[in-house]
Amino acid sequence: MAEIHREYVDAGAQIIQTNTFGANRFKTGTCGLENKLVDINTAGVELARRVIMASFKQAFIAGDVGPLGVRLAPFGRVQPEQAREVFREQITAQVKAGIDLLIIETMTDLYEVREAINAAHDVDPNLPVLASMTFTRDDRTLLGDEPAKVATRIHAADATVIGVNCSGGPQQILRILKQMYPIDPRRRFLGHANAGWPEQVSGRIFYPATPDYFGDYALAFWHAGAKIIGGCCGTTPQHVAAMRKSIDAAPDEPGTNGFILAVNEVEEPQVTKNSQVNFLKN
pLDDT of the residue at 258: 35
How far is it, in rounded angstroms, from Cα 194 to Cα 62? 19
pLDDT of the residue at 251: 74
Question: Cα 279 vs. chain centroid, distance in angstroms?
Answer: 15
Query: Is residue 152 a contact partner of residue 183, using CB atoms and an 8 Å limit?
Result: yes
pLDDT of the residue at 253: 55
How far is it, in rounded angstroms, from Cα 34 to Cα 26? 8
pLDDT of the residue at 198: 86
CA atoms within 13 A on the CB side of 236: 9
pTM for the model stands at: 0.88
- Cβ burial 162-179 (10 Å sphere, 16+ → b, else e): bbbbbbbbbbbbbbbbbb
Regions of the chain with pLDDT less than 70: 252-282
pLDDT of the residue at 275: 35
pLDDT of the residue at 277: 35
